[in-house]
Chain A
Amino acid sequence: MTGFPILSLLMLVPLVGAGLVLKANREQARLIALVATLIDFALGVVLWAHYDVGGAQWQFQERAALFSGFEWKLGIDGIALLLIALTVFLMPICIGASWNSIEKRAGEYYAAFLLMETLMIGVFTAQDLFLFYIMFEAGLIPMYLIIGIWGGADRIYASYKFFLYTLLGSVLMLIAMFWMVNVAGTSDIPTLMAYNFPVHAQTWLWLAFFASFAVKMPMWPVHTWLPDAHVQAPTAGSVILAGVLLKMGGYGFIRFSLPMFPEASAQFAPLVWGLSMAAVVITSLIALVQHDIKKLIAYSSVAHMAIVTIGLFAFNTQGLEGSMLIMLSHGLVAGALFLGVGVIYDRLHTREITRYGGLAINMPYYALFMLLFTMASIGLPGTSGFVGEFLSLMGVYAESSWVALVCTTGIILGAAYMLYLYRRVIFGDQKNADAAAMLDLDKREWAMMVPLAAVVLWMGVYPESFLAPMRKDIATLEHRLAPAKPKGDAQLKLGAGKPAPEEAAHGEAH
């Protein structure tokens, strides 16, 4: 596998596909898009199969001195591998979700999606700081168009908000990048991850990066673009937004903020904890009173992402691994939930919760899948959601039991709003005749739901498959963070516990 530019190929396939679909009619366009994303998925499988778990930190490296000022330099570690796998897994499902619902300007629609895929893979594979920035920012254009052209009634406001919020967050990061490259003399990400910036400068650099990733993540209180964007975006747009785009924020923290500015990360950890605690409780409460299904799930995304940031800033292996797993799990589960909303939206064209009810009677299979994803979202053991949340909260408990306490409340609230949603939509009486007349899942929808359900269960039952590739990278990161790690409030007094068995033995001897 060495020397074969598989990462470039992963990016090239959707790009070529995007060029092809632009002029095609609807039937051709969706077929080309499906084939391109499936090829990419196959390449992703090959990539994972050839990834040497426990081998070199950076694998499949490629470089080409094409540009001045930055390089075309790609390479992945286990963390990036998992996120790429998530991307290529979700993309064919997104195309499937758009199969019938996109009628106008299909060619441009699929082109925008394929372009998104190229750019998302680019973000996760870039090993040059500026290449990363270009990929990171470029994603705004297709997403702006997806929301703005194919979105709901209030799409224009949502697309503006999405674009300007994320742009404003990102530009200061660019200035910080210039400063870093100027000081360190290289824009190579692996080198910068090991570079020790002066502590006072780290503060500013961390803040500049934080502005970008906090908006992308999104963290409370800069999350307000997300519910708007989600509600207005077409189903597949929501899937990709929740599934992959939000993960860029978490990826940014894990790839840049933490390893490059460990001291500043420790210094600002209380800020992140505070914002995350606020997010978990506040957005969960907001989710509880939503009338719009998509908005409810969007707010639940913000709450889940807050658990991710909590885990990332726990500075230990459990927290970091847990955060990664939540990101993967949330990508699948939130994607699946949005897909589920799309299924009924395609039939009834409304997202109002009260317009549904009693779907378990006429759509039993749909109800079954939604139950699984709802439970996964709550974090029921045996589903993917549990593993990540458990690890994350365990990680943060070692640092601060108060933070863990507040965030666990969020899990309970999560169960409340998800179950409440499920009860109102799936259970209860069939109040509305049109909702009661809806047909159950068709073959296409089965084909989208089954893989998602399978992976959700797989990750829940045997998370080792997903932990193994990143274990070494997380360990490296933890090692890097260790000197800066803030002192936790949970002090294990190992010495105090020891005398007990001795006394017991003593007593027995008497």
Chain B
Amino acid sequence: MELLRSLQITLAEEVLSISGLVLLLVAAWGGDKASRLISILSVAVLTVCALIAAPALCGSAMGPDVTAFSGQYRADAFAAFAKLLIYAGAGVTLIVAPAFFDRVRAMRAEFPLLVLFAALGMGIMVSAGDLLALYIGLELNSLASYVLASMLRSDERSAESGLKYFVLGSLASGILLYGVSLTYGFTGTTSFEGIRLALSHGLTTGATFGVVFVLAGLAFKISAAPFHMWTPDVYEGAPTPVTTFFATAPKVAALSLLMRVSLEAFGTQAHAWQQIVIFAALLSIVIGALGAIGQNNIKRLMAYSSINNVGFMLIGLACANQPGAAAMLIYLAIYVAMSVAGFVAVLMLKDADGEPVEAISDLAGLSKTRPGLAAALAAVMFSLAGIPPLFGFWGKFVVFQAAVQANLLALAAIGIAASVIGAFYYLKVVKVLYFDDATDKVTGKSDVAHTVLLVIATLFISPLGYLLTNWLHVLAGNAAAALFHVA
């Protein structure tokens, strides 16, 4: 009975793994010709999984009813919130990829499958209730991601990016695993609830090391400074659809995982990790902003921007309370939309031969030749900078409000002042788009799917997004409540 119930709760993961395996067989027999069909089916599978996950979020599911495999797995509202974003990010990747890969005849049947398995791994990550389940999910996702990064075999940069990601990612996994073993050694359990209970009486030195190592490993995965070095190289080298994927789904998964671990497992010792998070947050904001200033490659710029944005999200985590977690989730949702809009716009920047245009200086005067595309890109930039009335402002708004409510005034003041540094380089892109004389580099035709996705994402980050705030706050509130239910 217990097994049956558990299988019911983990339905989304089962659907993903079984359909992934079936589609793998299709790929084995159908070859690369079937890749388009597999992509379409994969999107359908992700949609089904999203429909399975959604009720938990709307119904604010939490507690033992949604806990499977004796605490290993939780299908609560928090996991559902993260999963919806992950499936959305994965779905977008699958939709934008064919047009990109077809041009270089590199669309392979494995691509959608790897995305599916990565999504499966991420689903496990955000649902994990135990350090072991966490690690299984993390590795499943990471292995798929390493391959995805080097998907474009003809491109040296892609191979380099895959290798870099793999070496540094393994190092981070090692650090994380070391932290896990220390935590296990000093608490005697790997389950989050058990750790929470064991730590509630105080933190031994060994357990502190465990916490620090686990957080360091996860900081790598979310590309927070000072563990951010891999991000610009991997973002630049990986094929753009894969970069879209990296900037959305794994980011959501790793951040959700970080929230789950720090607020649930280490929740009773918040003061021990708060300083680490505050340090990482401020450092990420500053490094992300300063690093971006000198960049001329738009993908590298977006990479630094993602480091910068992770810093702002960590401010929500530093509050170590429910409003902070809810604020972080809202920021995460808006960030996914901004990343999608940004990278889809980058995908649409093509010269007459269809070659991608990545140098920012080549975008000069884009507003004259492609006004719609330039406007969307400018909206993304202003939104990432957090200038109202773009919706990106709302993410910063809720995060800083949570920080002020948690009495972290100094953090909020320094963080928001540092956001002005970031505004400088976002403005630089707008300047190139609007003020400079046209170079007419970007003349390539755009794919319909790209245009549609760009319009949807841009509408979401436009001021119209504010109309969604009521709804977004209820959902994020449900998710955060589920996260804090354990206590």
Residues of B contacting A137 in the complex (Cβ-Cβ under 8 angstroms): 387-388, 393
Q: Which of the 9-residue segments A163-171, A397-405, A495-503 touches chain B?
A: A163-171
Given A138-B388, A164-B424, do A148 and B413 touch, yes or no (CB 8 Å)?
Answer: no
The reply to whether A130 and B420 form a contact with Cβ atoms under 8 Å apart is no
Interchain CA distance A167-B420 in the complex, whole Å: 7
Q: Which residues of chain B in 362-409 are interfacial with respect to chain A, using CB atoms and an 8 Å cutoff?
A: 367-368, 371, 382, 387-389, 393, 397-398, 400-401, 404-405, 409
The reply to whether B416 and A174 form a contact with Cβ atoms under 8 Å apart is yes
Interchain CA distance A156-B413 in the complex, whole Å: 29
Interchain CA distance A257-B181 in the complex, whole Å: 55
Interchain CA distance A12-B387 in the complex, whole Å: 21
**Residue A365 is within 8 A (CB to CB) of chain B in the complex:** no
**Residue B419 is within 8 A (CB to CB) of chain A in the complex:** yes
B361 to chain A, nearest CB (A): 14
Interchain CA distance A174-B416 in the complex, whole Å: 9
Interface 1/0 per residue, A145-173 and B, CB below 8 Å = 10011000001100110011001100110
Interface 1/0 per residue, B433-447 and A, CB below 8 Å = 011000000000000
**Residue B3 is within 8 A (CB to CB) of chain A in the complex:** no
The reply to whether A68 and B469 form a contact with Cβ atoms under 8 Å apart is yes
The reply to whether A148 and B388 form a contact with Cβ atoms under 8 Å apart is no
The reply to whether A178 and B400 form a contact with Cβ atoms under 8 Å apart is yes
**Residue A141 is within 8 A (CB to CB) of chain B in the complex:** yes
8 Å CB contact of A69 from B398, B413, B416, B435: B398
**Residue B417 is within 8 A (CB to CB) of chain A in the complex:** yes
The reply to whether B435 and A175 form a contact with Cβ atoms under 8 Å apart is no
Residues of A contacting B393 in the complex (Cβ-Cβ under 8 angstroms): 134, 137
Given A137-B387, A159-B435, do A68 and B405 touch, yes or no (CB 8 Å)?
Answer: no
The reply to whether A148 and B434 form a contact with Cβ atoms under 8 Å apart is yes
8 Å CB contact of B397 from A69, A156, A163: A69
Which of A68, A138, A156: most chain B CB closer than 10 A?
Answer: A68
The reply to whether B431 and A171 form a contact with Cβ atoms under 8 Å apart is no
Across the two chains, which residue of chain A brings its CB closest to B405? A182
The reply to whether A141 and B416 form a contact with Cβ atoms under 8 Å apart is no
B389 to chain A, nearest CB (A): 4
Residues of B contacting A65 in the complex (Cβ-Cβ under 8 angstroms): 470
The reply to whether A175 and B469 form a contact with Cβ atoms under 8 Å apart is no
The reply to whether B467 and A179 form a contact with Cβ atoms under 8 Å apart is no
8 Å CB contact of A175 from B367, B398, B400, B427: B400
**Residue A66 is within 8 A (CB to CB) of chain B in the complex:** yes
The reply to whether B389 and A171 form a contact with Cβ atoms under 8 Å apart is no
Residues of A contacting B469 in the complex (Cβ-Cβ under 8 angstroms): 67-69
Given A149-B434, A160-B427, A163-B423, do A69 and B389 touch, yes or no (CB 8 Å)?
Answer: no
8 Å CB contact of B435 from A149, A163, A167, A181: A149
Across the two chains, which residue of chain A brings its CB closest to B388? A134
8 Å CB contact of B412 from A130, A133, A175: A175
The reply to whether A69 and B427 form a contact with Cβ atoms under 8 Å apart is no
The reply to whether A175 and B409 form a contact with Cβ atoms under 8 Å apart is yes
B377 to chain A, nearest CB (A): 14
Q: Which residues of chain A in 92-141 are interfacial with respect to chain B, using CB atoms and an 8 Å cutoff?
A: 105, 108, 130, 133-135, 137-138, 140-141
The reply to whether A67 and B470 form a contact with Cβ atoms under 8 Å apart is yes
**Residue B36 is within 8 A (CB to CB) of chain A in the complex:** no
Which of under 10, 10 to 19, 20 to 34, or 35 or more describes the interface residues of A?
35 or more
Residues of B contacting A138 in the complex (Cβ-Cβ under 8 angstroms): 387-389
The reply to whether B427 and A163 form a contact with Cβ atoms under 8 Å apart is yes
Across the two chains, which residue of chain B brings its CB closest to A160? B427
Across the two chains, which residue of chain A brings its CB closest to B417? A171
Interchain CA distance A171-B388 in the complex, whole Å: 11
**Residue A253 is within 8 A (CB to CB) of chain B in the complex:** no
Interface 1/0 per residue, A66-87 and B, CB below 8 Å = 1111000000000000000000
**Residue B472 is within 8 A (CB to CB) of chain A in the complex:** yes
Across the two chains, which residue of chain A brings its CB closest to B469? A68
The reply to whether A164 and B420 form a contact with Cβ atoms under 8 Å apart is yes
**Residue A206 is within 8 A (CB to CB) of chain B in the complex:** no
Interchain CA distance A68-B473 in the complex, whole Å: 7
**Residue B166 is within 8 A (CB to CB) of chain A in the complex:** no
**Residue B466 is within 8 A (CB to CB) of chain A in the complex:** yes
**Residue A373 is within 8 A (CB to CB) of chain B in the complex:** no
B150 to chain A, nearest CB (A): 39
Residues of A contacting B423 in the complex (Cβ-Cβ under 8 angstroms): 163-164, 167
The reply to whether B435 and A148 form a contact with Cβ atoms under 8 Å apart is yes
Residues of A contacting B368 in the complex (Cβ-Cβ under 8 angstroms): 105
8 Å CB contact of A172 from B389, B417, B466: B417
Q: Which residues of chain B in 432-480 are interfacial with respect to chain A, using CB atoms and an 8 Å cutoff?
A: 434-435, 466-467, 469-470, 472-473
The reply to whether A130 and B397 form a contact with Cβ atoms under 8 Å apart is yes
The reply to whether B431 and A156 form a contact with Cβ atoms under 8 Å apart is yes
Residues of B contacting A141 in the complex (Cβ-Cβ under 8 angstroms): 382, 387
A28 to chain B, nearest CB (A): 17
Across the two chains, which residue of chain B brings its CB closest to A168? B420
A21 to chain B, nearest CB (A): 13
**Residue A213 is within 8 A (CB to CB) of chain B in the complex:** no
A180 to chain B, nearest CB (A): 10
Residues of B contacting A417 in the complex (Cβ-Cβ under 8 angstroms): none
B134 to chain A, nearest CB (A): 32
Q: Which residues of chain B in 344-371 are interfacial with respect to chain A, using CB atoms and an 8 Å cutoff?
A: 367-368, 371
Interchain CA distance A155-B226 in the complex, whole Å: 37
The reply to whether A178 and B388 form a contact with Cβ atoms under 8 Å apart is no
Residues of B contacting A225 in the complex (Cβ-Cβ under 8 angstroms): none
Interchain CA distance A159-B434 in the complex, whole Å: 12
The reply to whether B413 and A175 form a contact with Cβ atoms under 8 Å apart is yes
Interchain CA distance A135-B393 in the complex, whole Å: 12
Q: Which residues of chain B in 297-314 are interfacial with respect to chain A, using CB atoms and an 8 Å cutoff?
A: none
**Residue A144 is within 8 A (CB to CB) of chain B in the complex:** yes
Given A141-B382, A182-B404, do A156 and B417 touch, yes or no (CB 8 Å)?
Answer: no
Across the two chains, which residue of chain A brings its CB closest to B436? A156
Residues of A contacting B409 in the complex (Cβ-Cβ under 8 angstroms): 175, 179
Residues of B contacting A164 in the complex (Cβ-Cβ under 8 angstroms): 420, 423-424, 427
Which of A130, A137, A141, A148: most chain B CB closer than 10 A?
Answer: A141
The reply to whether B416 and A171 form a contact with Cβ atoms under 8 Å apart is yes
Given A141-B382, A175-B413, do A68 and B470 touch, yes or no (CB 8 Å)?
Answer: yes
Which A-B residue pairs are the 8 nearest by beta carbons?
Answer: A178-B404, A68-B473, A134-B388, A68-B469, A138-B389, A171-B416, A148-B435, A68-B470
Knowing that A69-B401, A164-B420, A175-B413 are A-B contacts, what are 4 other residue pairs whose CB atoms are under 8 Å apart, sorted by A's residue number?
A135-B389, A148-B435, A155-B435, A171-B420
| 26 sample A-B contacts, Cβ–Cβ < 8 Å, listed by A number | A66-B466, A66-B470, A67-B469, A69-B397, A69-B398, A105-B368, A108-B367, A135-B388, A135-B389, A141-B387, A148-B431, A149-B435, A156-B431, A156-B435, A159-B435, A171-B417, A172-B413, A172-B416, A174-B397, A174-B416, A175-B400, A175-B412, A178-B400, A178-B404, A179-B404, A179-B409
